[in-house]
Structure 1
Amino acid sequence: MKRAPKNAALARTDIFISYSQRDKAWMERLKMHLKPLERDFKINVWVDTKLRSGDKWRVEIESALAKTRVAILLISSNFLASDFINSDELPPLLKAAAKEGTIILPLLLSTSAFSLTPLSEFQAVNGPDQPLDLLSEGQVNQTLFQVAKRVHEIFMAPAKKAVARPVVTSTAVAKKATTKPSAAFVETSKKTTTRGLPKADLATAAPKRAAASASGTQQALLVKRSGEWEVIPVHHAKIGKQLEMALRPATPSQVAFLTGLRQSGDGLASVVFRWHSYRCTQQDLHTVTENNRETWHLAADTQELIARTEVTYSNLTPDMQAQARAELLLLNTQPPEQSPMRWLSSGRFNDLAASPLPALFRQVGNSPTRFKQVAPLVLTWFLHFTNTVQHILRLSLTLKGQSVTIDFEGQREASHRDAPTTVRVNCVCLLAGATDTAVLLGPIRSY
């Protein structure tokens, strides 16, 4: 009889199924597919039906959560509405996922607000357009089998050798108060250097220094290969051929995003920081406790952006096309119906159908504060990855009611001219009337 690999250092050995009592029938069907793993591989599957009369149920649940290696969440509107699940079960599971590598597997039972919650940062077994209650009987069994298969892969995979991570306590900080800070990171609020920056960044390093020092808390935009993204506060950063960042998430959604990124292992696609965009290959993401505060350390290899091949179409030079792209992106201005640019903006060259700003404003809940944080970084990503400009000289957004005034100046590298071309946009973009529910950053053709 086969047995799951033993690892004395691995305290988390169980599967925990979190579900609403109203979805008990789905839980029973899932348990049936997991039964062979229990019997043949001695993997313990814990559900609250194991509680016996007289048990101290809260203590038993806490004990089960502490042993959880894989948590399967049966997502439905009932699940999301459960106060007990959200207050007692999810917090320790999310904390364990962030600090100890517990795997979170959402299984979507029915249509719900899952995509609007921090839990959506975890890769679901089935897509939001394929909840179990919309599938045929055969498709349901296939999906439940995929859950069992994924769990089997997790438990049968050779245990990775743990990498020691320093945990800095307040006492340790006090003892080392006179020690020189590590050279691994350069504090962005105190020092900025052009050394090690890609050539494309050197032209605008000086204006970006001024912008960075004036902006207060630094923020970075992290983009997954799936197109999902999050803007997260940056404590330290060093960027050259390798990107190193110390991130300090301030909200549950930011923590969930980083946790999902760490679980995927190689899900990072790009990073935007200080008006620069970087294509990235994720190398490492781990947490360190510093002075009783958790910091996420990200290391990734950076790659230069690959410019797409540009052509002249109907007397519209690439520079003219870039100006039109900038106006579409920043002002939501469509070319005239009879203009050759209308065809170019249909997708073959631009990959842009409309400005992301109205949808972005709606996505952040019409919050002016949040919009001011994320919009410049999202626009920087689009301006670079659509090959509109290579350098951003100025990007100012002034929000007033349902509109935003944009003052933008960017520079394109010399291609068809002897000197670089400047792209400027200065006007008002209306934010009302968005139909999209979310802005995904990708895929873009030049990405």
Structure 2
Amino acid sequence: MFEYDITLSFAGEQRAEVEQIADCLIAAGAKVFYDKYSKAELWGKDLYQHLSAVYQKKARYCMVFISKEYAEKAWTSHELKAAQARAFAEKGAEYILPVRFDDTEVAGVLPTTGFLDFRSEGAAGICAAALEKLGKATVPHRIPSPTAAAQGPFSCDSSPRALILSKELNVTIFPLVAESTWSDQIELSIEPEDKETDAVLTKMRGQKRGMLVAYGLDVAEVELESAVRSTVRGEALWKLQFRAKRSDFRNDMEMGTSGTTAEQFAEMRVRRLLLNEFLPQRNDQGGNHIGFLNNLMQENLIQGTNPIMAVEKSLFPDLFRQLGSSPQPFLESAWISAVVGLKLSSAIEHIDYLKLALSGELLHVKFRGYRHRRYSNVEPYKIEVSGQLRLAE
């Protein structure tokens, strides 16, 4: 008896499409191994050995999503080799079920093997065929057409990406993390998605100071201790080691006014960061110096007292201009950037949840977090935000 009916092997660039198939299969009662829905299972495991067992022994079928990106990555190659070992041991069995996103040839998958083409079948067609293979019911719910899927909605409530910033190089990158260890010593294993990321990591080798790293809900100012680049079957794998210098960004010097507390100013800061609200007021007061000074004081209090990161506007629209053509990578990069902004601006100490959903050019945001506790006998101030932001005018 297998633990899973189907396990899915794919490149991150096709996650949005594969997730539609995973949701469809699960809704029909299939047991599916899909990494995003198996976070607790994967937490703390030796992923190299665990995934080898999953793709070789624990499923009835392995659905392989072939693409240019799939052929280029080390982790997908590892998954495929494990699946091929199973297929070789069960000669004649139909274990590997290939699905094509493009015409890339992948070593070990013969061109004579029967496959389905996502370009013509879509998520619904792939799901229906898989359910027929499993002997289960037909598709239980409608899957959006490829055109609708391209518009969204896409969603993100955590990010597989890190944020690495170098002040000396004046550059920020959002690489996918294969493995992470976070304490006073921070270690990240990274597979660059493109040559540009690989080149930036190479330049960072000489930049020991003025660096910031974030992954998950952790953010730290760091010093780079080592950056080791290895090559596996022609693909780069970086192992970065940092020493954390600072990870507590609370600010006990924040002030309020007679009508607005420091906590309320921090809430304005959060809404500015996430929804582009409470933007700086124009200082053209027509000679009204008191109005000018009041606006200036309010702006200083919204930004906080000497913040590490001053929030002048939401970072989402600029990031959308850079990455909006790739909705899921945009959301993943926006998510980790928001975590950094919330903490470095001293607005939030603990994040309960942060959920982003993209539909066309409209970003939906849900957030709850807590300020740092000021007094031991008073609960920390809670900030909740729910709203939407239009990313392009």
Which AA in structure 1 matches 2:275? L
Corresponding residue pairs, total: 226
Which AA in structure 2 matches 1:391? H
2: CA distance, partners of 1:363 / 1:335: 22
Q: Give the equivalent residue in structure 2 for 1:322.
A: 266
Q: Is 1:424 aligned to residue 384 of structure 2?
A: yes
- Report the alpha carbon displacement of residue 246 of structure 1 after superposing the two structures with TM: 1.1
Deviations 1:212-251 (A, max 9, x none): xx97982211111244210111111111110011111111
Give the 3 Å change call, closer, same or farther, for CA 257–294 of structure 1 in structure 2. Answer: same
- Report the alpha carbon displacement of residue 191 of structure 1 after superposing the two structures with TM: 2.4
2: CA distance, partners of 1:314 / 1:216: 36
1: CA distance, partners of 2:243 / 2:162: 16
Give the 3 Å change call, closer, same or farther, for CA 251–278 of structure 1 in structure 2. Answer: same
1: CA distance, partners of 2:190 / 2:161: 9
Q: Give the equivalent residue in structure 2 for 1:333.
A: 277
2: CA distance, partners of 1:237 / 1:405: 29
Q: Is 1:300 aligned to residue 259 of structure 2?
A: no
2: CA distance, partners of 1:406 / 1:387: 20
Which residue of 212, 218, 233 corresponds with 2:176?
A: 233
Deviations 1:46-105 (A, max 9, x none): xxxxxxxxxxxxxxxxxxxxxxxxxxxxxxxxxxxxxxxxxxxxxxxxxxxxxxxxxxxx
2: CA distance, partners of 1:255 / 1:327: 35
Deviates more, 1:361-370 or 1:379-388: 361-370
Q: How does 1:296-445 map to 2 (within 5 A)?
A: 296-303=238-245, 304-315=247-258, 316-334=260-278, 341-345=298-302, 351-415=310-374, 418-433=378-393
**Larger RCO of the pair (alpha carbons < 8 Å, separation 6+):** 2
- Report the alpha carbon displacement of residue 376 of structure 1 after superposing the two structures with TM: 0.2
Deviations 1:383-403 (A, max 9, x none): 010011011110100101111
Which AA in structure 2 matches 1:280? V
Q: How does 1:113-262 map to 2 (within 5 A)?
A: 190-192=42-44, 218-226=160-168, 227-262=170-205
When the two structures are superposed, what TM-score results if normalisation uses the length of structure 1?
0.46
Give the 3 Å change call, closer, same or farther, for CA 313–347 of structure 1 in structure 2. Answer: closer
1: CA distance, partners of 2:347 / 2:304: 14
Q: Give the equivalent residue in structure 1 for 2:100.
A: none
**Maintained 8 Å contact 1:405/1:427:** yes
Which AA in structure 1 matches 2:172? W
Which AA in structure 2 matches 1:297? K
1: CA distance, partners of 2:390 / 2:299: 21
- Report the alpha carbon displacement of residue 328 of structure 1 after superposing the two structures with TM: 0.5
2: CA distance, partners of 1:334 / 1:371: 24
Give the 3 Å change call, closer, same or farther, for CA 216–360 of structure 1 in structure 2. Answer: closer
Give the 3 Å change call, closer, same or farther, for CA 378–217 of structure 1 in structure 2. Answer: closer
**Maintained 8 Å contact 1:406/1:428:** yes
SS of the residue 1:419 aligns to? coil
1: CA distance, partners of 2:41 / 2:244: 22
Give the 3 Å change call, closer, same or farther, for CA 301–336 of structure 1 in structure 2. Answer: closer
Identity of aligned residues (%): 22
Which AA in structure 2 matches 1:286? V
Q: Give runs of ≥4 in structure 1 deviating > 4 Å.
A: 214-217, 335-340, 346-350
1: CA distance, partners of 2:365 / 2:323: 19
Give the 3 Å change call, closer, same or farther, for CA 388–192 of structure 1 in structure 2. Answer: farther
Give the 3 Å change call, closer, same or farther, for CA 345–216 of structure 1 in structure 2. Answer: closer
2: CA distance, partners of 1:268 / 1:236: 23
Give the 3 Å change call, closer, same or farther, for CA 324–349 of structure 1 in structure 2. Answer: farther
Deviates more, 1:292-301 or 1:346-355: 346-355
2: CA distance, partners of 1:216 / 1:415: 28
Which AA in structure 2 matches 1:190? L
Deviations 1:147-191 (A, max 9, x none): xxxxxxxxxxxxxxxxxxxxxxxxxxxxxxxxxxxxxxxx99722
Deviations 1:331-366 (A, max 9, x none): 000269577634534786562211111111012254
**Maintained 8 Å contact 1:331/1:427:** yes
User: What do you get for the CA RMSD once the two structures are aligned?
Assistant: 2.8
Which AA in structure 2 matches 1:429? L
**Maintained 8 Å contact 2:164/2:212:** yes
Q: Give the equivalent residue in structure 2 for 1:273.
A: 215
Which AA in structure 1 matches 2:314? S
2: CA distance, partners of 1:218 / 1:346: 29
Structure 1 stretches of 5 or more lacking a match? Answer: 1-186, 194-213, 434-447
**Maintained 8 Å contact 2:371/2:382:** yes
- Report the alpha carbon displacement of residue 284 of structure 1 after superposing the two structures with TM: 0.4
SS of the residue 1:244 aligns to? strand
Which AA in structure 2 matches 1:237? S
Give the 3 Å change call, closer, same or farther, for CA 420–258 of structure 1 in structure 2. Answer: same
Give the 3 Å change call, closer, same or farther, for CA 308–215 of structure 1 in structure 2. Answer: closer
2: CA distance, partners of 1:393 / 1:217: 15
Structure 2 stretches of 5 or more lacking a match? Answer: 1-38, 46-155, 282-293
Deviations 1:21-43 (A, max 9, x none): xxxxxxxxxxxxxxxxxxxxxxx
SS of the residue 1:266 aligns to? coil
- Report the alpha carbon displacement of residue 420 of structure 1 after superposing the two structures with TM: 1.4
- Report the alpha carbon displacement of residue 412 of structure 1 after superposing the two structures with TM: 1.4
